[in-house]
């Protein structure tokens, strides 16, 4: 069993405050069912924008198509952030994309070759390091969004949820999780502030630079069963975060779907 360092709340608050986070907005718990569910409930009870909840043991995490999983204690970090956007909802899908950018850039800075796979995965050579789930929440103060993401920190090969996953440990690094999460939160806030300000072209450029999807032949699975499939070349993302795919000479835009990278 690898040594698993905890995430220290007070040190995380100190580091994150340098990036504009209010220390009291960040909470760290040892265990919960789902940080997204907890923060969604807090949003409905008046929690402020930029509230962050982190757990090092999540027992009922959720993903796309209602997929669920649990992680071994101390092997990962489940992080959820609450935002109350001013932008129209057709721009909200960008929150998943910019989250991927923040994560991949932090992993690269830590020494891992990482890219983003549209719409919500961060990949290393050995497999998926984390997934992202953004959920709209109806609250008395208007609609909000909770963006959740999990980082596979120190999972061993036999602890991986699926064979296509990986962890930072398996990619050859063991970063201090407190410092790594602070770096991710700093990058996330920078990107989210730019998104709130409508700096879309800068975000698209930054996304393209770290995308492992754009420029590749791909298969887009449009439903959970895989019965509806489109194959083509990913050529970009549009202003609302939809994936642009050239299919038989025509460029089509996809707002959702599972992407498979083809060789």
The predicted structure's pLDDT at residue 17: 97
Residue 215's SS3 state is coil
Farthest CA pair distance, the chain: 54
Given a cut of 60, whether residue 69 has pLDDT beyond it is no
The predicted structure's pLDDT at residue 67: 52
pTM (predicted TM-score):
0.93
The predicted structure's pLDDT at residue 71: 65
- H or E stretch at 185: helix 177-196
CB 190 within 8 A of CB 93: no
Retrieve residue 242's tokens.
């939809």
Task: Tell me how far apart the alpha carbons of residues 189 and 100 are, in angstroms, rounded to a whole number.
Answer: 13
Given a cut of 90, whether residue 14 has pLDDT beyond it is yes
Segment 58-81 shows an average pLDDT of 71
Retrieve residue 253's tokens.
């835009």
Tens-place pLDDT, residues 182-202 = 999 999 999 999 999 999 999
Catalogue the E-assigned strands of the chain. Answer: 26-29, 52-55, 61-62, 68-69, 76-83, 115-117, 121-124, 127-137, 144-152, 217-221, 229-237, 243-247, 250-254, 258-261
Tens-place pLDDT, residues 200-232 = 999 999 999 999 999 999 999 987 766 789 999
CB 244 within 8 A of CB 237: yes
H helix count then E strand count, the chain = 5, 14
CB 92 within 8 A of CB 146: no
Band (65; pLDDT cuts 50, 70, 90)? very low
Given a cut of 60, whether residue 161 has pLDDT beyond it is yes
Q: Are strands 61-62 and 144-152 parallel, antiparallel or unpaired?
A: unpaired
More confident residue, 1 or 198: 198
Tens-place pLDDT, residues 111-135 = 999 999 999 999 999 999 999 999 9
Segment 26-54 shows an average pLDDT of 97
| Of 57, 64, 50, 179, residue with least CA distance to 117 | 64
Q: Which residues, including other chains, have CB under 8 Å from residue 112's CB and lie 6 or more apart?
A: 124, 129, 168, 171, 172, 173
Q: What angle do CA 158, 2, 38 make, to 5 degrees?
A: 75
Catalogue the E-assigned strands of 142-249. Answer: 144-152, 217-221, 229-237, 243-247
Given a cut of 70, whether residue 55 has pLDDT beyond it is yes
The predicted structure's pLDDT at residue 62: 57
The predicted structure's pLDDT at residue 70: 57
The predicted structure's pLDDT at residue 63: 52
Sorted by where each starts, the structural domains of the chain and their CATH numbers stand as 9-210 (3.30.930.10), 217-261 (2.30.30.100)
């Amino acid at each position: 069993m690898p040594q698993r360092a905890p995430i220290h709340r007070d040190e995380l608050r100190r580091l994150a405050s340098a990036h504009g986070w209010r220390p009291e907005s960040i909470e760290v718990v040892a265990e919960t069912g789902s940080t997204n569910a907890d923060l969604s409930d807090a949003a409905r009870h008046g929690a402020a924008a930029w509230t962050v909840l982190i757990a090092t043991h999540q027992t009922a995490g959720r993903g796309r198509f209602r997929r669920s999983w649990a992680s071994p204690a101390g092997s990962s970090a489940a992080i959820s952030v609450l935002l109350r956007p001013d932008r129209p909802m057709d721009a909200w899908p960008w929150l998943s994309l910019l989250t991927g950018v923040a994560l991949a850039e932090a992993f690269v800075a830590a020494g891992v070759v990482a890219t983003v796979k549209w719409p919500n995965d961060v990949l290393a050579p050995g497999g998926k390091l984390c997934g992202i789930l953004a959920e709209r929440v109806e609250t008395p103060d208007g609609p909000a969004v909770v963006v959740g993401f999990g980082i596979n920190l120190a999972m061993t090969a036999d602890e991986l949820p699926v064979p296509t996953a990986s962890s930072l440990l398996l990619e050859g690094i063991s970063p201090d999780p407190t410092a790594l999460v602070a770096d991710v939160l700093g990058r996330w806030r920078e990107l989210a502030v730019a998104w709130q300000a409508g700096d879309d072209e800068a975000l698209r450029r930054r996304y393209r630079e770290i995308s492992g999807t754009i420029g590749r032949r791909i298969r887009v699975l449009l439903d959970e069963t895989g019965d509806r499939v489109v194959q083509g070349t990913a050529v970009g993302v549009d202003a609302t975060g939809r994936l642009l795919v050239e299919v038989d000479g025509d460029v089509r835009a996809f707002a959702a779907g599972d992407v498979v990278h083809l060789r």
